Amino acid sequence: MNRIKSITTNKVCCPVAIGLSLLLALVGCTESPTGEAKPVVNWQERATRIPEDSLQAGATYLSVYSQIYSQSEHRTFNLTVTVSLRNTNTADTVYIQSVDYYDTSGEAIRKYIRQPVFIAPMETVEIVIAEDDLQGGTGGNFYFDWLTPAGSQPPYFEAVMISTYGSQGLSFSTQGHPVGTPRKHP
């Protein structure tokens, strides 16, 4: 008799458990209604005045890919991009003066900051470009102007591109390259 009761309970519990699992999966997989990059960080809250101390200035270039070619130049594969701005210093703050995003043809897409922002010691700040935001194309670029206290490490810039389709996944990363002195900022 206990065995019959157990089987009946499983017939009721199993569909309920499956239904709850599906509901949780659907809720966790919502997409953005627009193709715009979603703010992972509030840049206005990070705005700061540049200290009067002696600072070293630099600029870094970072390549990113919203799309890559697949099979031919007529077929592309869309990617989500995560851009990381990292302060590798354990004691010094890094100051970022500009974060500019350009498309494949070199046209400016977005300016992420309007005034200098800080990145605290050992902190990482991220920018996410949604998979359906194709403005950067197959050769998007970021350009960063930055300041660090004399003797400190420069910030480290990296991008991770990823996409999944069915049971297949694709991911790769790029690293920033120093490009000399920064552009003039007021």
Q: Give me the pLDDT at residue 21, please.
A: 46
Higher pLDDT, 27 or 106: 106
Range in 110-114, 123-127, 166-170, 176-180 the model is least confident about: 166-170
| Confidence grade of residue 89 (pLDDT, cut at 50, 70, 90) | very high
Distances (CA, A) of 53 to 92, 150, 168: 12, 9, 50
pLDDT tens-place string over residues 149-178: 999 999 999 999 999 888 888 899 999 999
Rounded Cα distance, 64 and 51, in Å: 31
Q: Give me the pLDDT at residue 166, please.
A: 81
pLDDT tens-place string over residues 29-51: 444 444 555 456 888 888 888 88
Ramachandran angles phi, psi of 34, nearest 5°: -115, 165
- Does residue 117 have a pLDDT over 50? yes
Rounded Cα distance, 110 and 114, in Å: 11
pLDDT tens-place string over residues 62-81: 999 999 888 888 888 899 99
- Does residue 7 have a pLDDT over 80? no
